Amino acid sequence: MKHIALRKSIENIKGRVENFSELNGNIAMQTHILAMNSSVEAARAGDSGRGFAVVAQEIKKLADQTRENAQAFSREVLKTVHSAERDAATLEQSLEQSEGNRLIQQALNLVQLLVRNLFERTADVRWWATEEALCAAAGDPAPAHLQRAAERLRTIHRYYTVYHDIVLFDLNGGVLCSAIGQKHAHSSAHLASKEPWFRKAAKLRSGDEYAVSAVHASGLHGGRRVLAYATAVREGGRVDGTPLGVLTVYFDWQGEAQTVVRDESGFTEDELLTHRALILDAEHRIIAASDAGGLDLPYALPASGAGETPRGCFHDREGRLTAYARTVGYQEYDGLGWYGVIVRAADIANAPVVEPG
């Protein structure tokens, strides 16, 4: 960055002036000592050394004047250098604050992009749960009904590639049919009824409501990382109908999130070498990273007061600048309390350290 190069140039000039002043001072001191020694030798020589004594005295005066001039030069130049240092520090602080604000906005834009996308998933699951074929299969899981429901799920899945799978469960968590058209290995060992989001979905009082999981490795899908949105399939497809089963859409987090944080972060390929984009969940665990590293590990952020929507930036002990912003949600979707985070590589010497609380 240009302001960093300016600061280093000023430091270089300061160092050169200080070295020059020290060198001149040493020369003046050596000359002064030589003149004093010459005066002593001239005095010992008596009358024959008087002429040399005058020369020695003039050399001493010249040495003293040289030292005074060097000191005056050093004072004046260093005064200017110090002023430039203060101006450069002020400029650097202003630019760093501006950069921090830019990265905060970028972090917010990143998490909001995901949140707006996931809001549509809440609409999808509630809409598809009213499909006649799904209601029929959940109410009467006869082979013909299940076949028709599976066909509908496969058709939906063909055009909605953000989903890894769409599954119709019975109210006990058993798989009735699936969009991916294959048997789920040992599905009985992975009954969805064990999951809090499934139990919530099965007990929802209205078809307008939904449940959502945390990002997790799905045992039903070989450990693939997904985000599940679920709602009850109701009798007659009515909002107030009796629950018959649970429809769950499995957003392909493993495939989609990496694309978003890397390709939609707003960074060029060169900037991605010095910047890292992250998505954190409400517990500040890394659930997506542009470099695919540190998944599920905690990431320290400063503590915030009650009721605040935290956003800000800080330098860590290694000098990295971290900008963060918590989602503000989208319409009725609260965004699950997720955070967007941008981390810039350390490139500022002596950057102030702000410890996350």
Tell me what pLDDT residue 170 has.
93
Tell me what pLDDT residue 185 has.
47
Which has the higher per-residue pLDDT, 205 or 23?
A: 205
**Contacts by residues 150-157 (CB-CB < 8 Å, ≥ 24 positions apart):** 150/177, 150/178, 150/179, 150/181, 153/177, 153/178, 153/179, 154/179, 154/181, 156/128
Instruction: Tell me what the mean pLDDT of segment 222-233 comes to.
Output: 94
Domain range 2-94, CATH class: mainly alpha
Q: Is the pLDDT of residue 334 over 70?
A: yes
Q: Is domain 129-256 annotated with CATH 3.20.20.70?
A: no
Q: What percent of the chain has pLDDT over 70?
A: 68
Find all residues with CB under 8 Å of 83, minimum gap 6, and list them.
none
Instruction: Please report, as a single letter, which amino acid is at residue 24.
Output: N
Q: Where are the domains of the chain?
A: 2-94, 129-256
Tell me what pLDDT residue 273 has.
84
Find all residues with CB under 8 Å of 207, minimum gap 6, and list them.
126, 129, 130, 231, 232, 234, 237, 238, 239, 240, 241
Q: What percent of the chain has pLDDT over 90?
A: 46
Tell me what pLDDT residue 272 has.
80
CB 295 within 8 A of CB 276: no
pLDDT category of residue 353 using cuts at 50, 70 and 90: very low
Least confident of 244-248, 297-301, 302-306: 302-306
pLDDT tens digits for range 26-48: 776 776 676 676 666 666 666 66
Tell me what pLDDT residue 328 has.
92
Least confident of 97-111, 232-246, 263-277, 288-302: 263-277
Q: Is the pLDDT of residue 307 over 90?
A: no
CA-to-CA distance for 303 and 312, rounded, in angstroms? Answer: 11
Phi, psi of 250 (to 5 degrees): -100, 100
Rounded (10°) CA dihedral 119, 121, 127, 128: 180
Q: Output the CA–CA distances (angstroms, integers) from residue 183 to 65, 89, 144, 177, 211, in the order listed.
A: 97, 64, 17, 9, 25
Which has the higher per-residue pLDDT, 138 or 307?
A: 138
Do strands 321-326 and 311-315 pair parallel, antiparallel, or not at all (unpaired)? antiparallel
Phi, psi of 142 (to 5 degrees): -75, 155
Tell me what pLDDT residue 189 has.
45
Which has the higher per-residue pLDDT, 297 or 185?
A: 297
Q: Is the pLDDT of residue 77 over 50?
A: yes
CB 277 within 8 A of CB 342: yes
Q: Is the pLDDT of residue 197 over 70?
A: yes
Which element (helix H / strand E) includes 111?
helix 50-128
Tell me what pLDDT residue 48 has.
62
